[in-house]
Structures are given as C-alpha cells and as structure tokens.
Amino acid sequence: MTGRPEHPEGAPVRGLRRYVGAVAAELGMTGEHGRAEGGPPARGHLAVRGHLPSFPDRVVVLVWDEEYGWGAAVAVERDDDLAVLAYLGGEVLPPAAAVAAFTRALLRGEHPGDPRPVRLRAVGDADGLVDDLGGYAP
C-alpha cells in the first residue's frame, strides 16, 4: 500500500463523471462517451449520437461547466474546437432527463434553450454544488 488515495480527484469529480454518465444513460448511450475535469472551473462533455439538421456533417457534443450548466455544441474546424449553439439554462445540475429532453429536441431540429450564455453561478460559490456533485459519487 502506497498511501496514495484511490481517487485523487475527490468525490466531486467522481460525481461529475457519474452525472455525465447518467445523462448518457438517459440518451440510451452505453460505454464511455464523456469526460469530466475538476477545473476550476469544473467541466464535462459528452459526445452525442446523431446530428443537428442545421449541421448534418458536424459532431454534436453536450458541454457542461460549473458556471453555465449544460450547452449543446458542434465541432468546428478541428474536433477539439467547439461552437456552443444553445444553453439549457435554469440550473447548473438539472436532472439527467431534462438534459436528455433538451438534446432530443435539438436533434429533431427544434430550438430549445438560449443561444446566449447565462451565468448561473460563479466558480467557488458556496451554494452546495460540491456537495451535490459528491452525491453522485460512488
């Protein structure tokens, strides 16, 4: 035993990873499709199966960060460059089912959410986000 923690990133990052996985499961996706980073700011993303009618040749990615919550983006130029087209808004950690509904509406060609980024909280706010994310951790 080395004394090193099994999960050095801590419960919030593990929780974020599980939260992104819950969104993937709501979308019927299995396997590894997403990623979570501790930040600051904490971020996550999830590659989505399907394409937006307006961008049929672009990869769709759901992006999450601790200030703006969920947004839907398309890959541009290079696969690591993303253009956010719409933000779900409302709350930073909405139920996975709400994120899936937002995503399905986008894939149908609807225009849910808001194209403007609305800051929902600041990095480091003492609003319970860390505890909420930790609740998703195993």
* Domain assignment of residue 4, yes or no: no
* Domain assignment of residue 112, yes or no: yes
The pTM score is 0.87
For residue 102, the enclosing domain spans 11-134
CA dihedral (4, 131, 14, 125) positive or negative? negative
**Beta bridge partners of residue 31, listed in sequence order:** none
CA geometry: angle at 69 spanning 132 and 67, to 5°? 85
Residue pair 11/136 in contact by the 8 Å Cβ criterion: no
* Domain assignment of residue 114, yes or no: yes
* Domain assignment of residue 48, yes or no: yes
Per-residue pLDDT of the chain in tens (138 residues, 90 and over written 9): 333 334 446 888 899 999 999 999 999 997 677 888 888 899 999 999 999 999 999 999 999 999 999 999 998 876 568 999 999 999 999 999 999 999 999 999 999 999 999 999 999 899 999 889 888 877
Q: Is 63 helix (H, G, I), strand (E, B) or coil?
A: strand
* Domain assignment of residue 5, yes or no: no
* Domain assignment of residue 37, yes or no: yes
Which structure tokens are listed for 30? 């299995």
Q: Number of structural domains, the chain?
A: 1
Burial 52-85 (b: 16+ CB within 10 A, else e): beeeeebbbbbbbbbbbbbbbbbbeeeeeebebb
